[in-house]
Amino acid sequence: MTTTERTDEVLYDVTGHVATITLNRPDRSNAISSRMLQQLSERLAQADVDRGVRAIVLTGAGRAFCAGLDIKDAVAGTGIGGGGASSGRGQHLNTRNHPTTVMFEMDTPVIGAINGGAAGFGLDIALGCDIRLVAEDAKIATGFAKRGVVPESGGTWYLPRLVGWAKAAEIGFLGRNLTGAEAAAMGLMNRALPADQVLSEAQAWAEEIAANAPLAVQSMKRLFRHGLTEDFPSHIHHVLLQTMLLFQSADFKEGITSFAERREPNFQGR
């Protein structure tokens, strides 16, 4: 089954058990507008609650992944950040529905197909993906310090966890641009590929994930997330409780039966 929904700034497509979400402002290198910010959160949440979707691919239209927040709109006072700090008025900042927060709380795996440049907020979105495949020659811009800001939407949380404190400090404090290949070598990305192979490889990985038991994959991601803040005995206790629930699922029975019968499993997510 294939369904496609098109909007002005975000594309949403479901083929089989894989949803593909595409940032769609190629003329602006997929820079984030207020509308795109909202639509991206909505599409991510939509995929996460769809029981037919077992994996998500997040990518960008055109040659870039995401150039970050739209600076042109902000300077004009019409985009994110426009009229904010410079106006001298305090603002209530709510991050509950930001894409990076939504991504962190999702149980459905997200594969980032970083097909081109990623900068600023776009880099934070990339880091929020569970798996990242990147174009070898993609420009990964980490120059937050050169702009007088910090990675504002998750980067300061992800960087030391992904690459360790010293490498995170190197990346953040120096603010040098990296190629996709360099970012992969440092551990920021899972794998660097020729640009024309990134999306197809990400979709292949997503399909492979989708063929596994969805309840187990979702539980694994949830436990990974909770394990970041739990002590070991508490975490093992939660793993045991989750395992006991999975033992009662039809997917567990199918996994055991298909192994014994030496055939590929057919998981139903029940």
Q: Are residues 171 and 241 in the same domain?
A: no
Residue 270 lies in a domain: no
Q: Are residues 199 and 223 in the same domain?
A: no
- 210 in Cβ contact with 54 (< 8 Å): yes
Q: State what percent of residues in the chain have pLDDT above 90.
A: 77
Q: Are residues 112 and 231 in the same domain?
A: no
Q: Are residues 191 and 239 in the same domain?
A: no
Query: If you search the block for the tokens 């020659």, which residue do you land on?
Result: 137
Residue 265 lies in a domain: no
Three-state secondary-structure class, residue 44 = helix
Three-state secondary-structure class, residue 50 = coil
Q: Are residues 144 and 233 in the same domain?
A: no
- Residue 161 domain boundaries: 2-210
The lowest-confidence range among 60-69, 139-148, 194-203 is 139-148
CA distances from 269 to 49, 103, 145, 249 (A): 13, 21, 45, 8
Residue 155 lies in a domain: yes
Digit-coded pLDDT (tens) for 77-119: 555 555 444 444 445 456 777 888 999 999 999 999 999 999 9
Residue 243 has pLDDT above 90, yes or no: yes
Digit-coded pLDDT (tens) for 49-75: 999 999 999 999 999 999 988 766 555
Q: Are residues 219 and 195 in the same domain?
A: no
How far is 252 from 248, CA to CA, in rounded Å?
7
How far is 174 from 233, CA to CA, in rounded Å?
38
Three-state secondary-structure class, residue 119 = strand
Tokens of 265: 């499993």
Residue 7 has pLDDT above 80, yes or no: no
Q: How many domains does the chain have?
A: 2
The lowest-confidence range among 100-109, 138-147, 205-214, 255-264 is 138-147
Q: Are residues 134 and 206 in the same domain?
A: yes
| pLDDT classification of 227: cutoffs 50, 70, 90 | very high
Q: Are residues 63 and 197 in the same domain?
A: yes
Residue 64 lies in a domain: yes
Residue 266 lies in a domain: no
